Amino acid sequence: MTDVLVAGAGVGGLTAALSLHAAGIGVRVVDAADQLR
């Protein structure tokens, strides 16, 4: 299994993370913000 780090939790980053997760790839999302807005 390949793990991927997605830097940025904006629309693009979350969409990429969702697509990777759906394909069975481990994903971790990090963002500069310390909380959700």
Read off the pLDDT of residues 1-37 as tens digits, 9 standing for 90 and up.
Answer: 669 999 999 999 999 999 999 999 999 999 999 887 7
Q: Which residue has the tokens 């990777």?
A: 20
What pLDDT, on the 0 to 100 scale, is given for residue 36? 75
Instruction: Give the pLDDT of residue 26.
Output: 98
What are the sequence ranges of the domains in the chain?
1-25
Cα dist. 29→5, 37 in Å? 6, 15
pLDDT of residue 33: 93
- pLDDT of res. 1: 62
Its pTM stands at 0.82
Residue whose entry in the numeric block shows the structure tokens 């993370």: 17
| 2 closest CA partner among 35, 32, 25 | 25
Q: Can you give the pLDDT at residue 35?
A: 84
Tokens describing residue 15: 């969409």
